[in-house]
Every structure is written in C-alpha cells, then in structure tokens.
Structure 1
Amino acid sequence: METTIKKPLTGLTLEQLRNVAAECGMPSFAAKQMSQWLYEKRVTSIDKMTNLSKSARQRLSTDYCIGVTPPKAAAESSDGTVKYLFDGKGGRDIEAVYIPDKDRATLCVSSQAGCRMGCKFCMTGRQGFHGNLTACDIINQIIAIPQSRSLTNVVFMGMGEPMDNLPAVLQAIEVLTSPWGLAWSPKRITVSTIGKINEMKTLLDTTKVHLAVSLHSPYPEQRASLMPVERAYHSRDVIALLRQYDFAHQRRLSFEYI
C-alpha cells in the first residue's frame, strides 16, 4: 500500500498559506490563523489549530503536516555550545550550532546538505553536495531546539553556501522577519557567502539582513588556492558590488578569515 507523503506547513509564507487555505476550501483569513499557530504558538499538530473548523482541520491533515521535527542528537561542550544534528538531504545529516555568549544566544544554521563550493579548509566542502534544504528545513532548525524562544541571533554560516540555495534562504528570512511569522528584526540575522555576485545582489536588494563575506585572503591567487570559487567570482568584483551599498548605518558588513 502506497503511503502519501504529507507536505509541511512550517516554512510557508503567508501568501503560500493563502493558497493552502484556498486548496482546502477555507476562507483567505485562515492563512493568518495558520501562521499564528505555526510561528507564534508553535503547535505540534494540525488538530490543535482550534479556531479552524473540525472539517477544515481534517481536510488540511489529509495532505499536510506541521513539519517540525526534533534534532536526532545533541552534543554540548563545556562552554555551553550545543551542536544539534538534523535529518538533511541525500543521506547526509545537517548541523545547527547553538552558541551562548553572555546576553546573546546565536544559532548557526545550515542551508544545504554538504556544499559544492569546494573550499579547501572546509570539512563540509570535502563531503560534496547532497541537496538543498527547504525553507521548512531551515526554519525547523530554529524552532525545534529547546532554546528556540531565547535566541537573539541567527547566522547562516552552517553547512552549505546560502547563495547557492537562495530561494529557500529568502523564504526562510521572510518567515523570520515578517509580522505574521517570527517577527524578528533583520538586524538579528547574518548571512554568510563566498560572494556569488548575482545572488548576493538579490539578497542585498530584497532584505535588510547583515552580510558576511568569506574572503580568507585579499590576494586573488592565494584565495583561489583556498577557494576555487575565486576563479568564477573574483574578490575584486565582489568588493566592487559591495561598494555600491550603504553599510554605514543599520546594516553591517563583515569579512571572514581563517
């Protein structure tokens, strides 16, 4: 007997939830109700969305699920840092890392299972690429950990290159920052990139999150020996693009070195 795989609601935008509502014969305003249950109240089952009619919940449950899954494992270090392991893609698990620091609590999230950028110093790069994470996979890392509600910051600096999975990353950022979602300020979010030019421009034009550029050497030949992507996305072109944006006020730009 064939088992139907249900689609997760977590990670969907308000517009996408409106489409789900229409598909299930619910009024448009049910999308806002679902978003509150998902992102504010964080229910674990559709049955708990009690301001939806029983028939609507039954119809919704036919094809959809909440989609939040707890980490498979956790490893805590002596300084309070916790590494969480989640199901990934293509048989490769992914990690999210909780980092407490005085009055800050940062979560480092993954955007891909593995990575195809091939940076020489990166263990993830050595694993190869196994698949893009969905917006649900990304948001799940944030809301499925015990410290979720005490987080002050999220950094897209885990496994994968965020600009290589930009649609899912942008959707996750929309869920994170929208009033109907987690309602975070974009100042609490930093996205790291090796500098894929077009995708980086899209991120800068459509969001207000902070940007961290993985540089590691200002010398093109030396950078290319560490990061093969230098041959496709020259650091001089990355810098030229960044000079077109104002980082003097709310938005922060940083460069990463190992």
Structure 2
Amino acid sequence: MMEDKDKMGKECLLGKTLEELRELCLGMGMPKFAAKQIADWIYVKHITTIDEMTNLSKANRDKLNERYRVGRYAPSYVSKSKDGTKKYLFKVEDDRYVETVMIPDRDRVTVCISSQVGCKMNCLFCMTGKQGFHGNLKASDILNQLFSIDEAEEITNIVYMGMGEPLDNTDEVIRSIKPLVEEWGMAMSPKRITLSTIGVRDGLERYLNETSCHLAISIHNPFPDERKALMPSETAFPIEETIERLKAADFTGQRRLSFEYIVFGGLNDTEEHMRRMGRLLQDVPCLVNLIRYHRIPNIDLPSTNEERLERFKLGLERKGLNVTIRQSRGQDIEAACGMLSAQEGRDK
C-alpha cells in the first residue's frame, strides 16, 4: 500500500474522517470543535496548507504543521483531447503514476479517478492490467485527484472507473467516499458517485452495506467460459454468483445498478449473447451500458461497427433490458475506457 507520510514523517489530513480529526485534535490538546473547522478547510474550502486555516490559533496551526500536512499536490502532466476531455497524470509514492480523466458534457463535469497503481485483474482488453499491480492508493491520493485538477470546483459527478479495481482496495476507497458524501465534508449526493467493479465479493458486500452510491458491474460477456477468456477474475468471482447477490440488494431507492458491456464485433454481440443477457438479468432492475472497444497494443480483439452495435442494442431491448450506448471520449489522448496506463507524459 502507498505510504501516507512524507519524508519528514508527516501524515496527510486529506482523507481523514471527522471522528479521526476529533481524535487528532484531542490528542494534541486542541479543542474538539477544531476538527469540524479542519474538515471544512480541507473538504469545503479546498486549502493546500495548514497555515491557511485562519480560524485556528497560530499555536494550534504550528502544532499541526509539526506532524501533519494537508496532502494536496499538483499533477505532473496534463493532456487535452479535441473533444474537451482532459487527462491528468499524478505521481504517487515510489515514483509510480496514476491517471485521472475529466470529461465535460454541457452542464456536467465528470471525473474518472483511479484507486490503484496498475491492477491485478488483468482483463484482456485493458491497458491498466497489462502493467501489473504496483500498490493501492491511500484515500488521500484518491481524493487529491479530485481536489488538484483545474476543474475541482466544477465537478458534478465522480466515477471510480480509472486505473485499478476499486473493491480490491475497499478500505481506502470507502474512506475516500465518506468525505465526499458526509455533511461534515463536501455533502455530495451519493447518486452523483458511481463505482465500477468486476464483482470482488467481500468488497462488494461492504460497498453495498456502507455506501449508498451507484454501482456498475463489468460483465462484458454473459457466458462464464467466454467471460473467463476476457476476464480471468471470472474464476474467483463468477458473474452468476455476483448477480444472485445483487438480486438480494435494495435498489428500490435512488441507488442505481448498471452493467458495463464492451462490445467486440462478432465475439460477444450475437443472438445467443442477447438471449443469455436477457435471461441473466431478468428481474434485475438495471441499465446496460454498451461500450465501444478501444484497441490496445498487442491484443487482437475485434472492434464492432456502428451497425452491429445498434443491432445489439435493439436486440437487448427486445429482451426487456434498458440499454444505452456510452459515448467515447478522449480516445485521441488515450483517455477512453480501457486505455489508461500512466505512460504518457512521464518524460515530458
């Protein structure tokens, strides 16, 4: 796991919960109410240094500075797509890098954040998995991706769909969600946050029980053997078991369930796949997001064309499913789905 202290041994305040800030204050001889003030400075006012916390006494700011830092740091590199999408490169501990994508769309600004350096899941179609796994991000590094981009004050939606499998880093991911949705933090609506997962069992249980945010399941193929060829994690986390668990979950409120399906021409878009998807998701209140495949080096998977994609969408709808086609964004800067690798920009 990424270390949460700098070379001087200072811990990050970013990522701490209100209760942790209270314990911190009491342990340093500061009033308990100072915790709410610190949380407000970090999560609402988005300050970068402790000295900016002007409603704390100079003595208390000095105490904090001895042992803590805010934990904010700027991106190393930014690239911009012709469609307005921006990709930010962040350097984390041990000279590792992660990427963050900002997607503007009329009155929405969606930020796609990473939760790990690399990924263990090694999905065949994903660049991130090709670089292997190099560590979990701390909550501070996850939140910094939101607070240290140019559009930090304009964010309307957050998706945990960047580098890594979020529920393989459940502790820190859930820690990062709390300051986003709690009243003492940014007080965002949970319906503005979506997490994408292949279905890591223990992490899924915790996510369903400890948050009210939206959930997206990466399915990509309804047949177990075919899915295993694309996603080795099918062996440990079978999609049929995941769906059975989801049938028991409560999606009657504002929380939304969706399934992500990258369409490979002639590979997973046949009539048999339509029928199987219809049976598998029968009586599951959900949305199916169809995604165009973006080719990655040295992987021979077929892209679909618009005619096949539309035909597959209509076929799934005839099976009773609610289906959309996700618009591809940022492909020219390798910011589209499956293309993040933290390679671009390192040497610039």
Q: Tell me which interval the TM-score lies in, with the shorter structure as reference length.
A: over 0.9
Structural mapping, 1:1-258, within 5 Å: 4-258=8-262
**Which amino acid in structure 2 is aligned with residue 187 of structure 1?**
K
Q: Deviation digits for residues 149-183 of structure 1, max 9, x if unmatched?
A: 11110000000000000010101110100111111
Q: 1:225 and 1:50 mapped to 2: Cα distance? A: 56
Q: Deviation digits for residues 41-60 of structure 1, max 9, x if unmatched?
A: 12221111111111111111
Q: 2:109 and 2:177 mapped to 1: Cα distance? A: 18
Q: 1:66 and 1:246 mapped to 2: Cα distance? A: 37
**Which amino acid in structure 2 is aligned with residue 125 of structure 1?**
G
RMSD, matched Cα:
1.0
Normalising to structure 1: TM-score of the pair?
0.97
Higher mean alpha-carbon deviation, 12-21 vs 209-218, is at: 12-21
Q: 2:58 and 2:149 mapped to 1: Cα distance? A: 30
Shift of the 220–90 alpha-carbon distance from structure 1 to 2, 3 Å rule, reads: farther
Higher mean alpha-carbon deviation, 237-246 vs 248-257, is at: 248-257
- Name the SS of the counterpart of 2:62 in structure 1: helix
Q: 2:8 and 2:42 mapped to 1: Cα distance? A: 22
Q: State the identity %.
A: 51
How far off its partner does 1:5 sit? 2.7
Q: 1:248 and 1:52 mapped to 2: Cα distance? A: 44
- Name the SS of the counterpart of 2:31 in structure 1: coil
Q: Deviation digits for residues 203-251 of structure 1, max 9, x if unmatched?
A: 0111100000011100000000011110001111000000002324311
The aligned length equals 256
Radius of gyration: which is bigger? Answer: 2
Q: Deviation digits for residues 19-63 of structure 1, max 9, x if unmatched?
A: 211222101111001001111112221111111111111111001
Q: 2:227 and 2:94 mapped to 1: Cα distance? A: 30
1:90–1:130 contact (8 Å) kept in structure 2? no
How far off its partner does 1:108 sit? 0.1
- Name the SS of the counterpart of 1:35 in structure 2: helix
1:94–1:110 contact (8 Å) kept in structure 2? yes
Gaps of 5+ in 1: none
1:94–1:113 contact (8 Å) kept in structure 2? yes
- Map of 2:3 onto structure 1: none
Shift of the 89–213 alpha-carbon distance from structure 1 to 2, 3 Å rule, reads: farther
1:90–1:131 contact (8 Å) kept in structure 2? no
1:92–1:114 contact (8 Å) kept in structure 2? no
Q: 1:155 and 1:89 mapped to 2: Cα distance? A: 23
Q: 2:111 and 2:252 mapped to 1: Cα distance? A: 25
Gaps of 5+ in 2: 1-6, 263-348
- Name the SS of the counterpart of 2:199 in structure 1: coil
- Name the SS of the counterpart of 1:98 in structure 2: strand
Which consecutive segments of 4 or more residues in structure 1 shift more than 2 A? 88-92, 246-249
